[in-house]
Structure 1
């Protein structure tokens, strides 16, 4: 770990302990702290960041709530051994298998679904014109961890029963297959990052200040017909994204 300047309370009221937790989270995510490493004591953290022990204790408690660290009586606080999952995004991206454990897959849970007039940008990407869309909100878990929250849009005319199929199968690929679509490809993916919203933090069991990786993706049939527009928010501390480049012919 590198020394950092004392943490100051921001004018926006963003608490010092949240900033400290974010700095420590970056140390863990960036590999400066590894599984099994002992965190500095509250006194050391308080001195490092220029705060009192109570503030340092709050930061550690937030990381413990996320499962990033654990306290061992009489020994201190240690970084946990939870593995960071690698999600490969390529021509045939399949999150169910990509994010799963060996011998087990990642599972979708449908939160809700609705038929609606698609937002203009979604309608444009899916080529809906005046047709309506099915919007499905899901979470995805693997190995007992919440991995992601997603918003899916599908053409209602093409896939009227997709939400029911998703609930039954727990997999987009399986749900599409049940709807008569055996193959699809990833046409585009845009990746960004931001702080998780309160709702995302609750669904993903994240502490204050946690980061989510946001992907906006378009899946199509092999002939290029738009199939699914998807916005996914991944818990950055649990997932890394590997963008696979298409090989030249």
Structure 2
């Protein structure tokens, strides 16, 4: 476990900084499932805060399902809230992120409109219309990711309706006659969640989201989908698979 103390005068609540450090210890394997966390008094001494602040940090971890308090015994790591999402050549969120628990996706809104210039260029529809679909992915009722998906409206005019019906990108594409596609580009970054993202993902203000911007294509290389996913960083780990060099 790290020995850092909360930054003072940063404008960021001390209990959040403590929770982030403990969360990192859990997600990075320094604290394993079943391990007992330090007591409130020990955390208060370690981070130079009062016990109420330490209690808030533990409560935040408990609300995310990372730890549980057992009366008379202490607080223990459960690790149940961390989901691993593998991003590779054939990334399928429903089969990847839903390997623990029951996944569910729903369409929040959709529109047929001119895409931003950069996205239109990447999809090869600079002068055409795109279908934009906003989605929310949950596992066992816990929100994990928001998605903004763009498709060529001429090729896939009914993709939004198919997504509402199937709750799956892969199933919706299959209903449109596309049986296979591959990921050709993924760029990952991190930032603070916007107020709207925090509300939909049920995050505290100032929480971090992992952001992936990606392009999927048909097997012949034709661009198929541009998407931006925002994952609740405290609930998801990303595993980006490397494609072997050609000739191997």
Give the alignment's TM-score, normalised by structure 1.
0.90
| 1:79-124: CA deviation from partner (whole Å, max 9, x where unpaired) | 224163332222222111122237x863321111122221122112
Matched, 1:142 2:157: no
Q: Is the 8 A contact 1:62 1:208 kept in 2?
A: no
The corresponding residue for 2:232 is 235
The corresponding residue for 2:8 is 9
The corresponding residue for 1:222 is 219
* Secondary structure, aligned partner of 2:52: helix
**Alignment RMSD (CA, Å):** 2.0
Matched, 1:213 2:210: yes
Greater shift, 199-208 or 41-50, is seen at 199-208
| 1:48-83: CA deviation from partner (whole Å, max 9, x where unpaired) | 111111111121222222222222222222222416
Distance 2:50 2:196 in 1: 30
* Secondary structure, aligned partner of 2:29: coil
Matched, 1:179 2:176: yes
* Secondary structure, aligned partner of 1:218: strand
Aligned CA distance change for structure 1 residues 231 and 14 (closer, same or farther; 3 Å):
same
Matched, 1:110 2:102: no
Which consecutive unaligned segments of at least 5 residues does structure 1 have?
none
| 1:30-64: CA deviation from partner (whole Å, max 9, x where unpaired) | 11112222221111111111111111112122222
* Secondary structure, aligned partner of 1:152: strand
Give the alignment's TM-score, normalised by structure 2.
0.90
Equivalent in 74, 81, 84 of residue 76 of structure 1:
74
* Secondary structure, aligned partner of 1:64: helix
| 1:133-175: CA deviation from partner (whole Å, max 9, x where unpaired) | 1111111123444321111111111111111100111110110
Equivalent in 86, 95, 99 of residue 93 of structure 2:
95
| 1:18-39: CA deviation from partner (whole Å, max 9, x where unpaired) | 2111111111111111222222
Q: Is the 8 A contact 2:97 2:103 kept in 1?
A: yes
Which consecutive unaligned segments of at least 5 residues does structure 2 have?
none
Q: Is the 8 A contact 1:18 1:209 kept in 2?
A: no
Distance 2:102 2:65 in 1: 21
Q: Is the 8 A contact 2:104 2:139 kept in 1?
A: yes
Aligned-residue offset at 1:129: 1.1
Matched, 1:170 2:170: no
Distance 1:226 1:61 in 2: 45
Q: Is the 8 A contact 1:86 1:242 kept in 2?
A: yes
Q: Is the 8 A contact 1:85 1:99 kept in 2?
A: yes
The corresponding residue for 2:158 is 161
Distance 2:12 2:61 in 1: 17
The corresponding residue for 2:65 is 67
Q: Is the 8 A contact 2:210 2:230 kept in 1?
A: yes
* Secondary structure, aligned partner of 1:131: coil
